[in-house]
Structure 1
């Protein structure tokens, strides 16, 4: 009979959270716990929270109820950004036993001597200034690709953002440790690594607020390109002012780094960018897109954009819409602005009504669909390398090309986690590129 305690994990938010959940899960395994699916009965449930969107906050209560449904006596722990920003709010949620802030989450097993349910959630939080050390993380076993954390925290002061309050100052892993983790991942038969962090272009700042860069992001990219056994490396999200020509040129010549960039814009209006305290104007953004397309015409470029920021008039929004419409980008991640406590933006005048925010968000999501379709159409006739994922979805297996075109083909378990050179021939009714394995070659 298995007497091991069981633990289930649920992750909200970004790739960085997924990498940290995976690292926390390994610490449980080292302590003799069995990891189970979050929907299965467990002794402990760990919820890694996010505070970037209002929706993520609201989902937390639903997830706690889901855990209680599986096992009403389970010990429920909240960690992550929301747990750092509003620990007492989470502790007050019915069923929550323990809330751990930014410095405590990686020591979670130290707090689990007594798994008795608490009448009130216990909080172990910190002042965010104390989060001045770095803990390396990577995700493994959760999906076909691995998320490798290389940096944490942020020194930027964007007026809408709570991440510096939730994660602290910018600090990085050592280059040696990043390379060690990458080699560990490569031994696990994982074909793709996604580099992740809060502000990865700022890579190189040491611990304890040391602003000196031991290495640059460009040097990180060069070093990772030399790691054997990794088929693909993907840069997740990087600020336009930190994406340098040398990095773009290097990626264009690399056999490992893929032609896919995700570059936050947030607004196409310089007035709004200034109000957001972003570190660039739209002209720099145009320059970055043009540089990428000059050396990699087939590159996929994703864009983050926020609608409904305080003071965003109809003219400002149309400026953003038209700017994005004319830009050679591939898709949008659209965020509807929501007020976050303790941010400068929350106290600004000229609040945009929520129905207007929703309307603008819908317009940009429509534009994103058009952009993605146009990008996919531009790739028809090309032969690209596809990495297939592990799920059977309605009789199909899905995968992504190196330049992030989503494809599907009839399910075949032999294709899971394998690379194939595929000629992109047809866009299906659901907007994905569909093909049959006829005259196709394994990579």
Structure 2
């Protein structure tokens, strides 16, 4: 039983760390609390509720989570502080002891955020913080917390899947999010249709391992894609990230001719060395990865392809890194997301010999980031002087507007010609030269 009066008139602040999925989930939490009468606090207001959605992909992420929790509690004295997300699942008891924390919710419990909050409000009889925590063991994480939200963004993020069954040697995500699970296709189509009713024109499909969609409903990801493509009010769909072994040739073929699925792929590689891929327990080799990249480019020559790469993981000898660098250099990819390896307690990677020093990790990261900048610049340069359709995103008055082309080229519209009515509109532009820091192409309205 929810007592909505306990929420009425309260002000909340939110902080999200980590992936797009976390941002989507935070937007959903914000909407649920708003429906209960909680409004977002202004920057200079003290909040009654602080919600921190955490990440635990690296030790640096854990450290930053702790910093944010301390800061939010310190800057909002007396606020009810809730912590959820991956770090909350993995270290719930530890987090609950942090000064100022009232409630820690793991991956199974966050779907019932409002009920847990309601019960805590009713049980809070003193001014002291509660230090409560709830987190099921990984094997018992069964719930799916739906999310289709945009928060203060233009694009909607539709969560189609949660959890992961892969258990790569370096990764804690399966322990933090549980095993792969998903709702049925018809439920997700309803959510997408609701986003369309709210004026949404672009939806990003998110999840932990979305290519594994169908584990719980015995459906296929390609079938979800085909059903979403029928929602004509949504002009653009993007697939956030697909494991190489789950990026099926049939899906690539379909996206090449589909109505609304954009020529934009994000495919994690992690390492361009077969020896390192084996140590990571990845489910593919370089040959399969290269096949997927080359097939995408054959079907969609103008496609943007982002790639995740981890540097300095245990077992990555110098010759293996050089092999990875040369492999990436040879592929027609657009951008690299480079992550230095971080030791995670409880992972089997800790038993792998050959530890890469922090200095070597920094040097390898620097080289890959320079390669990424070169490839992105070359990709953007191909489209200078061409026309494109851009979905513009809201900007402050008198400020430059930004948006993306269908193939994910970031576009900048000078403040002098930017207009409020361009927000969430697909507008034809001519792509001019690079902006001052080469992070976007300047647009000219046609």
TM-score by length of 2: 0.93
Give the equivalent residue in structure 1 for 2:34.
29
1:54 to 36, 59, 62: 59
What is the rounded CA distance, in whole Å, between the counterparts of 2:312 and 2:97 in structure 1?
A: 31
Q: Does 2:235 align with 1:225?
A: no
What is the rounded CA distance, in whole Å, between the counterparts of 1:190 and 1:47 in structure 2?
A: 26
What is the rounded CA distance, in whole Å, between the counterparts of 1:219 and 1:39 in structure 2?
A: 47
Q: 1:436 to 1:245 in 2, by over 3 A?
A: closer
Measured after TM superposition, the shift of residue 246 of structure 1 is 1.1
Structure 1 contact 74–117 (Cα < 8 Å) conserved: no
Q: Secondary structure of the equivalent of 2:382?
A: helix
Give the equivalent residue in structure 1 for 2:367.
363
Give the equivalent residue in structure 1 for 2:438.
431
1:324 to 321, 324, 328: 328
Q: Does 2:176 align with 1:171?
A: no
What is the rounded CA distance, in whole Å, between the counterparts of 1:38 and 1:163 in structure 2?
A: 32
Give the equivalent residue in structure 1 for 2:144.
134
1:109 to 106, 114, 117: 114
Measured after TM superposition, the shift of residue 69 of structure 1 is 4.3
Q: 1:22 to 1:436 in 2, by over 3 A?
A: closer
Give the equivalent residue in structure 2 for 1:197.
207
Structure 1 contact 10–38 (Cα < 8 Å) conserved: no
Q: Does 2:316 align with 1:312?
A: yes
Q: 1:293 to 1:436 in 2, by over 3 A?
A: closer
Structure 1 contact 137–149 (Cα < 8 Å) conserved: yes
Q: Secondary structure of the equivalent of 1:214?
A: coil
Q: Report the number of matched residues.
A: 432
What is the rounded CA distance, in whole Å, between the counterparts of 1:39 and 1:62 in structure 2?
A: 20
Map 1:249-268 → 2, pairs under 5 A: 249-268=253-272
Measured after TM superposition, the shift of residue 37 of structure 1 is 5.1
Query: What RMSD, in angstroms, separates the aligned Cα atoms of the two structures?
Result: 1.8
Q: Does 2:22 align with 1:12?
A: no
Measured after TM superposition, the shift of residue 107 of structure 1 is 1.4
Q: Secondary structure of the equivalent of 1:249?
A: helix
Structure 2 contact 55–65 (Cα < 8 Å) conserved: no
Map 1:137-156 → 2, pairs under 5 A: 137-156=147-166
Measured after TM superposition, the shift of residue 315 of structure 1 is 0.6
- Structure 1 stretch displaced more, 60-69 or 323-332: 60-69
Q: 1:245 to 1:298 in 2, by over 3 A?
A: same
Q: Deviations over 1:48-74 (max 9, x none)?
A: 101112222111233223323442111
Q: Does 2:286 align with 1:276?
A: no
What is the rounded CA distance, in whole Å, between the counterparts of 2:356 and 2:434 in structure 1?
A: 38
Q: Deviations over 1:401-435 (max 9, x none)?
A: 11111110123222211111222231223104443
Measured after TM superposition, the shift of residue 363 of structure 1 is 1.2
Structure 1 contact 298–379 (Cα < 8 Å) conserved: no
What is the rounded CA distance, in whole Å, between the counterparts of 1:214 and 1:39 in structure 2?
A: 49
Structure 1 contact 78–98 (Cα < 8 Å) conserved: yes
Q: Deviations over 1:101-125 (max 9, x none)?
A: 1111121222334355545622111
What is the rounded CA distance, in whole Å, between the counterparts of 2:280 and 2:328 in structure 1?
A: 18
What is the rounded CA distance, in whole Å, between the counterparts of 2:127 and 2:68 in structure 1?
A: 17
2:76 to 48, 68, 71: 71
What is the rounded CA distance, in whole Å, between the counterparts of 2:47 and 2:64 in structure 1?
A: 20
Q: 1:27 to 1:14 in 2, by over 3 A?
A: same
What is the rounded CA distance, in whole Å, between the counterparts of 1:234 and 1:124 in structure 2?
A: 34
Q: 1:315 to 1:222 in 2, by over 3 A?
A: same
Q: 1:40 to 1:236 in 2, by over 3 A?
A: farther
Q: 1:436 to 1:268 in 2, by over 3 A?
A: closer
Give the equivalent residue in structure 2 for 1:209.
none
Q: Deviations over 1:185-218 (max 9, x none)?
A: 1111121100000110111111xxxxxx521111
Q: Secondary structure of the equivalent of 1:386?
A: strand
- Structure 1 stretch displaced more, 373-382 or 111-120: 111-120
